[in-house]
Chains A and B, each alone.
Chain A
């Protein structure tokens, strides 16, 4: 909220931003601008191409990109799960500005709902389990948010941090929830086997269709995890659509205003508490959904799957990419999830490299890899002003 402040004794600021104002060219990234400038059919064709490519990714077996040591479909599923989680957390952290350090708690509730009601205590159908998981997680989000969203900033971080751990410890200490030994036989999504899709095989620079290596469409098994990736990718597209709709509405504006200056927002008619709770519920919804998908892919969960570290990684994904920008957080999730999988050979070095990368990022790109266009534009203006100030100081 201090950002917006201009004190009267820095009067020249007006003249300066006036001079630079009309020439602003940094409203969007160069790439995004070029894409928006394209004619409609071309744009849709491009988007279609990217979508097809994303679905085909596990089949292409692209050298270097594909992971040599692990099933690439499985890696892609992990990456997609992180992307989904990051999109959910972005609503809470990026849009509404609420530091939630216990997001793994929602992920766990989603996963445990599917596992407990699908295997351990009941054998409900998968089609029933997923909506049930989402509903229960959303409710838990509201129950957590209702008392805690009245406190601000640091307190919220501490309370949510505790929440994440409490969920894990509850699971660990409750026989009914499988305790330490966890839950096996979590139901998988029902399969419908229609046809087989062959993968590619690369011989040098040429690709040949490898009829020995195929993925059964749509068989949700143990070995080949590509179908789970397709499922999650589809969910991501749906969530992206919903995210965009909310963003471009009274609700998205309300979230942003609350993040910028909660008191001012409230005094301009935004019911900030309700909106924060809503952001929390939306975040929980998506977190629970990804947890449920995770459990039904894994087939087995135990409390170890929901360590605090995971929460930290989720926040890292959002912050690394650029909180508040959905494309940024997608990139952040890909970086956080994919790189460690790709370089599994260097297992012991993973966390060290990750820490170093975060350190560098915090220093050189504190706004994230792809910050929201706003932050970027504002920063560009700041830099211009600084340059200008230096100029006048020397003159």
Chain B
């Protein structure tokens, strides 16, 4: 185990594994939601995570962000095992996510939602806030700069003072991405960001995901049911079925993989994903 301290972000070379799932299993009662899953997300890549409904994709996110502890196996981020780290600590470490079912702070403004994300690295305490200490003022200023900049990147700058719940569906999806990006992550995990989008919106989203990687330099892990989108934007794709990884590789190879074809045969996952919006996180 490396002896680097928790606070400093360990260094990784470009293309090396930023996040690794190592033989991760998780059991819910009698159901093995993940069964010995291993894959790496390499620094700087866009990795697509696909699979039929209930395959365990969202569960992967939950294990990676500390929502669930794996029954066995280990998740490492930049070489460090996540262990029993708290969820907020994992966020500070550099993993941010969005939710399959939008989970914004509905009664806060769009800007405030993003500010909460930006606050992830802030240290202002009660005394700071009460006396408006230099630290408080600096963090408020920086937080707002970050938030507005990220919102601009996502084309939300004009909706800043709107209540999150009053934004349009597409704006809410983008606001979730903005909030996650404001935590300054190294790895951004998007859980079905295109659900409910029309083709034009999907094309825009594809462009956005590319810019997140190319312009912002983030590594992206993308769960998506829309094959065109996920194959078009991902560098590599991993496929889950019944909690097991059945394939991993370049989009062309995965698309022609017999196991993948069998998994998807007749399931019409494209449509199913858009209407099945259950699940906790």
By a beta-carbon cutoff of 8 Å, the part of chain A in contact with chain B is 1, 3-11, 13-15, 17-18, 20-21, 24, 27, 242, 245-246, 248-254, 256-257, 260-261, 263-272, 278, 282, 372, 374-375, 377-378, 381
Q: Flag if B179 contacts A256 (CB, 8 Å).
A: no
Chain B neighbourhood of A15, CB < 8 A? 168
Stretch at the interface among B4-12, B107-115, B233-241, B249-257: B107-115
Closest to A242 in B: B130
Interface pair B119/A253, CB less than 8 Å apart: yes
8 nearest CB pairs, A to B: A8-B196, A269-B120, A14-B168, A4-B106, A249-B129, A3-B106, A260-B105, A4-B104
Question: Which residue on chain A has the smallest CB distance to residue B185?
Answer: A269
Complex Cα distance A272/B88, Å? 8
Given contacts A6-B102, A253-B115, contact A27 B161 (CB under 8 A): yes
Q: Which residues of A contact B165 (CB under 8 A)?
A: 3-4, 378
Q: Are A267 and B105 in contact (CB under 8 A)?
A: no
The reply to whether A8 and B195 form a contact with Cβ atoms under 8 Å apart is: yes
CB neighbours of A249 from chain B (8 A): 124, 128-129, 136, 140
Main secondary structure of the interface of A (DSSP, over half): helix
Nearest CB on B from A145, distance (A): 15
List 7 additional contacts besides A257-B105, A270-B119; criterion CB under 8 Å.
A8-B275, A11-B169, A248-B129, A250-B124, A250-B140, A256-B105, A374-B163
Chain A residues closer than 8 Å to B91, beta-carbon distance: 267-269
Closest-CB distance, A150 to chain B (whole angstroms): 13
B168→A267 contact, CB < 8 A: no
Chain A residues whose C-beta falls within 8 Å of the C-beta of B180 in the assembled complex: 268
B274 interface contact, C-beta 8 A: yes
Bound CA span A268–B180, Å: 7
Pick the most buried of A6, A24, A261, A270: most chain B CB atoms within 10 A of its CB: A6
Look across to chain A and name the residue whose beta carbon is closest to the beta carbon of B171.
A14
**Most B CB within 10 A of own CB, among A9, A269, A372:** A269
Q: Which residues of A contact B139 (CB under 8 A)?
A: 250
Q: Are B67 and A263 in contact (CB under 8 A)?
A: yes
Q: How far is the CA of A248 from the CA of B115 in the complex (A)?
A: 12
In the complex, the answer to whether B168 meets A269 with C-beta atoms within 8 Å is no
Contact A5 B166 (CB under 8 A): no
Known contacts: A251-B124, A269-B88. The answer to whether A8 contacts B169 by CB under 8 A is yes
Residue of A nearest to B175 (CB): A4
30 cross-chain CB contacts under 8 A: A5-B101, A6-B172, A8-B169, A8-B196, A10-B169, A14-B171, A24-B162, A242-B130, A245-B132, A250-B122, A251-B129, A254-B116, A257-B116, A261-B104, A261-B105, A263-B67, A264-B105, A265-B116, A266-B88, A267-B67, A267-B97, A269-B92, A269-B116, A269-B121, A374-B109, A377-B163, A377-B166, A378-B106, A378-B165, A378-B166
Inter-chain contacts of B163 with A (CB < 8 A): 374, 377-378, 381
CB distance from A252 to the nearest CB of B (A): 8
A372 vs B115: C-alpha distance when bound (angstroms): 19
